[in-house]
């Protein structure tokens, strides 16, 4: 399809007068174009409002007042470009605006990092209650991406120093910006590492939202999701490559009363088969997927050192479900 054919029609756009007209047009366009949501947004309406606010240079909360007013010409040009890139080129909204809101905080994002949507954000209060927020002194976030979970952990555990790792130098650059934005340079330490690398801990809490999709899923993802880094999503033929590493590393590096909390998408069955002796708990999540494994050091030491023979996992995963439209709320 040529460039001209991919532009939105002037005849329709000329009829849009107010910011509210553009909001409704954007939502309809995203619905009709079959754009996939789930990268931090629930639906086309939310994405349209976010793009409109960005084009107007307004915070989301100020949008209501702007809706009845005429759309300024420069903002209309900016929004047209954003809508074309979102609806026609399938760029994710968060990459277009350069930010994502997650756990009540703003994070910078770009195509070097996964757009934040981990279930772990729901689990942090439970973990703080169990461990005692003030008693956690050393924590780790393996596979930190944008640094969102490490930063939220540093806020939830005010006396903790958090080691945050990633195998992608680009992701760590984004994380560095976010750590600085939130003024946490003294407490969140970033490191290039495979899993936890040679960081020894011992940690009172290790969290991770690793890549956990089987490779075979790659070709089935909507275009928006393929714009995220492949290494943020896929982890070998069975999706378990990084999960295996982190289970083994955590068994060695948790403090005696420490906990591992790891999002594993649809891998629960595969983990239960591969580690039959692992007495893990599955933390509840609001949508009922309950896909966050939680294990003590003792459980990991008893259950992870001798995994059963590997078996390939089949079936959907958390991020694949998101790709099919089950969005993660802001």
Ligand X SMILES: C[S@@+](CC[C@H](N)C(=O)[O-])C[C@H]1O[C@@H](n2cnc3c(N)ncnc32)[C@H](O)[C@@H]1O
Query: At a CB cut-off of 8 Å and minimum separation 6, what does 128 contact?
Result: 136, 156, 157
Tokens of residue 327, six digits: 């969005």
Tokens of residue 204, six digits: 């009172």
- Which one, 23 or 270, has the nearer CB to ligand X? 270
275: which DSSP letter? Answer: -
Considering only residues 66, 83, 114, 247, which one is a binding residue for ligand X as defined by CB under 6 A?
114
Q: How far is the CB of 163 from ligand X (least distance, A)?
A: 12
Q: Does the footprint of ligand X cover residue 242 (CB under 6 A)?
A: yes
Q: Does the footprint of ligand X cover residue 144 (CB under 6 A)?
A: yes
Q: Does the footprint of ligand X cover residue 232 (CB under 6 A)?
A: yes
CA–CA separation, 132 and 158 (whole Å): 11
Helix (H) or strand (E) run with residue 125 in it: helix 120-131
Total binding residues for ligand X by CB under 6 A? 25
Instruction: Match 């760029």 to its residue by tokens.
Output: 91
CA dihedral 101, 142, 292, 301 (to 10 degrees): -160
Q: Does the footprint of ligand X cover residue 250 (CB under 6 A)?
A: no
Q: Does the footprint of ligand X cover residue 165 (CB under 6 A)?
A: yes
Considering only residues 195, 214, 239, 266, which one is a binding residue for ligand X as defined by CB under 6 A?
195
Q: Does the footprint of ligand X cover residue 38 (CB under 6 A)?
A: no
Q: Which residues in 309-328 contact ligand X (CB under 6 A)?
A: none
CA–CA separation, 315 and 312 (whole Å): 10
Q: Does the footprint of ligand X cover residue 166 (CB under 6 A)?
A: yes
Q: Does the footprint of ligand X cover residue 231 (CB under 6 A)?
A: yes
CA–CA separation, 302 and 298 (whole Å): 6
Q: How far is the CB of 3 from ligand X (least distance, A)?
A: 33
Residues lying near ligand X in the complex (CB under 6 A) are found at 113-114, 116, 118, 142-146, 148-149, 165-168, 171, 194-195, 209-211, 229, 231-232, 242
């Amino acid at each position: 399809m040529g460039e001209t054919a991919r532009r939105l029609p002037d005849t329709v756009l000329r009829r849009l007068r107010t910011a509210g007209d553009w909001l409704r047009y954007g939502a309809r366009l995203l619905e009709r174009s079959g754009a996939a949501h789930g990268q931090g947004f629930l639906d086309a309406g939310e994405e349209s409002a976010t793009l409109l606010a960005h084009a107007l240079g307004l915070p989301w909360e100020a949008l209501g007042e702007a809706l009845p007013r005429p759309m300024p010409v420069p903002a209309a040009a900016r929004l047209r470009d954003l809508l074309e890139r979102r609806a026609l080129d399938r760029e994710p909204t968060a990459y277009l605006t350069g930010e994502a809101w997650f756990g009540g905080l703003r994070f910078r994002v770009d195509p070097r990092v996964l757009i934040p949507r981990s279930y772990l954000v729901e689990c942090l209060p439970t973990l703080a209650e169990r461990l005692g927020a003030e008693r956690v002194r050393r924590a780790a976030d393996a596979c930190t991406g944008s640094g969102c979970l490490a930063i939220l952990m540093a806020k939830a555990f005010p006396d903790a120093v958090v080691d945050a790792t990633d195998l992608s130098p680009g992701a760590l650059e984004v994380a560095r910006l976010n750590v600085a934005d939130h003024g946490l340079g003294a407490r969140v330490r970033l490191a290039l590492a495979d899993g936890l690398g040679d960081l020894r801990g011992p940690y009172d809490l290790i969290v991770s939202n690793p890549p956990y999709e089987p490779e075979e899923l790659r070709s089935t993802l909507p275009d928006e999701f393929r714009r995220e880094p492949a290494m943020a999503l896929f982890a070998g033929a069975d999706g378990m490559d990084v999960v295996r590493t982190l289970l083994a590393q955590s068994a060695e590096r948790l403090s005696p009363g420490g906990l591992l909390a790891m999002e594993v998408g649809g891998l629960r069955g595969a983990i239960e088969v591969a580690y039959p002796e692992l007495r893990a708990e599955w933390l509840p999540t609001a949508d009922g997927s309950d896909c966050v494994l939680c294990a003590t050091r003792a459980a990991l030491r008893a259950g992870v050192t001798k995994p059963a023979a590997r078996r390939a996992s089949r079936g959907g995963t958390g991020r694949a479900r998101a790709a099919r439209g089950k969005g993660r709320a802001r």
